[in-house]
Chain A
Amino acid sequence: MARGVTISRKSVNTIAAGVLGLLMFFPVLWIVILSFKTEGDAIKAPLEILFGTGWTTESYGTVQARSDYFKHFSNSLIISLGSTFLGLLIAVPAAWSMAFVPAKRTKDVLMWMLSTKMLPPVGVLVPIYLIFRDLGILDTRSGLVIVLMLINLPIIIWMLYTYFREIPGEILEAARMDGATLREEVVHVLIPMAIPGMASTVLLNIILAWNEAFWTLNLTAAKAAPLTAFIASYSSPEGLFYAKLSAASVMAIAPILMMGWFSQKQLVRGLTFGAVK
């Protein structure tokens, strides 16, 4: 990018992109602002809210008093991390074999795996509910870890597959020549090379698991309920509720948003799904 870029052009770009970025971000920013207002102030006109009203943290207190945030938070954390790492454990070997020992049907298998994701969850809730009941894993974190692992497994496999494919086969050949076993080949050669891709896979799956709102709501009651259930009790207003809803929303999305911000380089670098040759 050594080409001369005029200051004015750069300014125009910055302003245009900044305005668009701000527009995209605005809803998030707005709930952060509303969450620090009283209920009465939170329904006023935007300018009045910004400049004509005071600030308070009372909504956070109310929300916390009504449902224990840290319990829901830790459930979300355990479920999303657990399902992601369990998924990784199963997906790495599968993606390896598809990438390096492709068979005629590899692509079909991959597409079939993706198509399981199109199964509408509402259509199979009752069967799954019955199975969970019989296994005694209703309202348990392990039950949710398994389900979320399964629904995201195709995505994990596919992402890993696309990264593994970019690794030149010769390197593996060379390792094998040196007498590396299959396990060593995967652990010492493949995984280090695929770290950026794996990082981004992990991040994306944590996000997807964190935000999954159907199974997490329907298979839990109180003990394993994650943040999606925490927010569900604010879906219908109870008197004035904008500030409380905002505070609960901020609490539900803040952890994942922070994670996303701090890891955005890693997330972005690997998020190609094979779109870049």
Chain B
Amino acid sequence: MATKASRSAARLMISPAVLLLLGWMLVPLSLTIYFSFLRYNLITPGANPFVGWENYYWFLTDPSFKAAMVNTLLLVGGVLLITVAGGILFALLLDQPMWGQGIIRIMAISPFFVMPTVSGLVWKNMFMNPVNGIFGHLAQALNVQPIDFFSQIPLLSIILIVSWQWLPFATLILLTALQSLDQEQLEAAEMDGAGAFSRFFHIMLPHLARAITVVILIQTIFLLSIFAEILVTTNGGPGVSTTNLTYLIYVSSLLQFDVGMGSAGGVLAIILANIVAIFLMRMIGKNLDA
């Protein structure tokens, strides 16, 4: 259907976006790559000599690096698991006939509008603080030892906070997908004597596959660079137990002001992100084309 003219018009129309994003990617990226080969520390000004791969060596041998990789994966994986599983359950429930669905839905999606800094601060202080937080008061009322969230289960606490923020997003997308499901197909299956579980696994879940893929893709993009929640709650600690890759780069480039090493970390993170992107592309490509 596309004529030659419309092809060149199309190219013209896409070019601003492509050029802008290319610029946005290439300018900082090339500077980052350039810095990653320099000894460049903000707080020790002077010459910034070329040091070859030294920064990469220091970043890769940083004792925190391995932990940061593991934490990044656990954080992304944990949140995905909770939000996808929880989102499906939630969507199934909200899809049922009930009174006041509108107001319930409004309540359920509210966390999505809360800025990460605020949700981090609110959970940290008003809920997870072992002395004055709600969970602390609850434990006191039940006469049990309150959980000290950020020192006993730091990473899990972060996962819970982030999941709270992203569960509404997953629920919404899955709910929309669920509502597009052909009711007659379900009813037919019901008449054939398929139980609720069998209907879920054989009809609903396949139908949701596409939506689940989308949820995973979008969330992964955002979850790889989780930062504010960690900054305001644990500062990456205790030790490095909540330091993800983004936070580790923050520590090197903005707390130690070692821009050279931070840049090396940035380059590594970009490579990692692209590996994940390729992986996701394969997955989503398959699902989206189907």
* A residues neighboring B (CB under 8 Å): 1, 3, 5, 9-10, 13-14, 16-18, 20-22, 24-25, 27-28, 30-31, 34, 43, 45-46, 90-91, 93-94, 96-98, 100-101, 103, 107-109, 111, 113-128, 130-131, 150, 153-155, 157, 169, 173, 182, 207, 210-211, 213-214, 227-228, 231-232, 234-235, 237, 242, 245-246, 249, 252-253, 256-257, 259-261, 264, 268-269, 271-277
Distance in angstroms between the alpha carbons of A211 and B274 in the assembled complex: 25
- B90 an interface residue at 8 Å Cβ cutoff? yes
When the two chains form the complex, which single residue of A17, A96, A115, A150 contacts B96, counting CB atoms closer than 8 Å?
A17
Query: In the complex, what residue of chain B is closest to A241 when comparing beta carbons?
Result: B125
When the two chains form the complex, which single residue of B32, B100, B164 contacts A127, counting CB atoms closer than 8 Å?
B32
A252 cross-chain contacts in B, Cβ below 8 A:
115, 118
CB of B21 to closest CB in A, whole Å: 5
When the two chains form the complex, which single residue of B42, B115, B227 contacts A231, counting CB atoms closer than 8 Å?
B115
When the two chains form the complex, which single residue of A20, A114, A127 contacts B31, counting CB atoms closer than 8 Å?
A127
- B93 an interface residue at 8 Å Cβ cutoff? yes
- B176 an interface residue at 8 Å Cβ cutoff? yes
Indicate if the CB atoms of B17 and A153 lie closer than 8 Å: yes
Query: In the complex, what residue of chain A is closest to B106 when comparing beta carbons?
Result: A261
| Known interface pairs A5-B97, A214-B228; A207-B288 also in contact (CB < 8 Å) | no
B249 cross-chain contacts in A, Cβ below 8 A:
120, 122-123
- B137 an interface residue at 8 Å Cβ cutoff? yes
Kindly name the residue among B93, B107, B118 whose own CB sees the greatest number of chain A CB atoms within 10 A. B118
CB of A111 to closest CB in B, whole Å: 4
Given A118-B270, A227-B115; 7 other pairs, CB 8 A cutoff: A25-B107, A28-B114, A97-B13, A119-B25, A121-B225, A245-B121, A249-B121
When the two chains form the complex, which single residue of B97, B137, B245, B285 contacts A45, counting CB atoms closer than 8 Å?
B137
A231 cross-chain contacts in B, Cβ below 8 A:
115, 117-118, 121
Distance in angstroms between the alpha carbons of A14 and B262 in the assembled complex: 51
Interface string of B241-253 (1 = CB under 8 A from A): 0000111011001
Query: In the complex, what residue of chain A is closest to B176 when comparing beta carbons?
Result: A272
Indicate if the CB atoms of B28 and A128 lie closer than 8 Å: yes
Distance in angstroms between the alpha carbons of A34 and B127 in the assembled complex: 12
CB of A255 to closest CB in B, whole Å: 10
Indicate if the CB atoms of A90 and B32 lie closer than 8 Å: no
Indicate if the CB atoms of B21 and A154 lie closer than 8 Å: yes
Kindly name the residue among B110, B115, B225, B246 whose own CB sees the greatest number of chain A CB atoms within 10 A. B115
Indicate if the CB atoms of B118 and A30 lie closer than 8 Å: no
Indicate if the CB atoms of A249 and B98 lie closer than 8 Å: no
- B143 an interface residue at 8 Å Cβ cutoff? no
B281 cross-chain contacts in A, Cβ below 8 A:
107-108, 111
B126 cross-chain contacts in A, Cβ below 8 A:
27, 30-31, 34, 242, 246
Distance in angstroms between the alpha carbons of A131 and B29 in the assembled complex: 13
CB of A116 to closest CB in B, whole Å: 5
Rank and list the top 5 A-B pairs by shortest CB-CB distance, nearest first: A123-B266, A118-B273, A97-B10, A93-B13, A94-B17
B98 cross-chain contacts in A, Cβ below 8 A:
10, 13-14, 17
Indicate if the CB atoms of B21 and A150 lie closer than 8 Å: yes
Indicate if the CB atoms of B42 and A14 lie closer than 8 Å: no
- B200 an interface residue at 8 Å Cβ cutoff? no
Distance in angstroms between the alpha carbons of A27 and B281 in the assembled complex: 36
Indicate if the CB atoms of B108 and A27 lie closer than 8 Å: no
B150 cross-chain contacts in A, Cβ below 8 A:
none
Distance in angstroms between the alpha carbons of A19 and B250 in the assembled complex: 39
Query: In the complex, what residue of chain B is closest to A268 when comparing beta carbons?
Result: B172
Indicate if the CB atoms of B113 and A46 lie closer than 8 Å: no
Indicate if the CB atoms of A97 and B122 lie closer than 8 Å: no
Indicate if the CB atoms of B42 and A126 lie closer than 8 Å: yes
Indicate if the CB atoms of A273 and B115 lie closer than 8 Å: no
CB of A63 to closest CB in B, whole Å: 13
